[in-house]
Amino acid sequence: MGPIEKQIRDILSQALNPVRMEVINESHMHAGHAGGSADGSGETHMRVRVISAKFDGVGRVQRHRLINDLLKPVLDEGLHALALEPAATTDNVRW
């Protein structure tokens, strides 16, 4: 686990008390693309899948805004891309 993944996990774990969470480094899929490294190494592109009761009754846009607000320091430090898959405990999740 790299330092950015750890930072994301720590922030979201504390704020959302997730039932389930996956932080996936997808940087290798963006080798040579804008914002990524030439060889796809590092932690430039991350996907976050998180299930939390904090999302129960909260719309999709508001879920994304909440996570983006929580992870603003990570984004400000240089994380180029963040794909989000937030789900409520009442959602039918397929991952």
CATH label of the domain that carries residue 13: 3.30.300.90
Handedness of CA 26, 31, 72, 85 (dihedral sign): negative
The pLDDT-based confidence of 26 (bands split at 50, 70, 90) is: confident
Look at residue 37 and tell me whether its pLDDT is greater than 80: no
Look at the chain and count its residues: 95
Is 50 a domain residue? yes
pLDDT-based confidence at 80, cuts 50/70/90?
A: confident
pLDDT at 39 over 70: no
Work out how many domains the chain is built from and give that number. 1
Q: What confidence score (pLDDT) does residue 52 get?
A: 97
Residue 18 backbone zone (phi > 0: left; psi -120 to 50: alpha; other: beta): beta
Q: Note the pTM of the prediction, 2 decimals.
A: 0.84
93 lies in some domain:
no
Full residue range of the structural domain in which residue 32 is found: 3-88
Model confidence at 66, in pLDDT bands (50, 70, 90)? Answer: very high
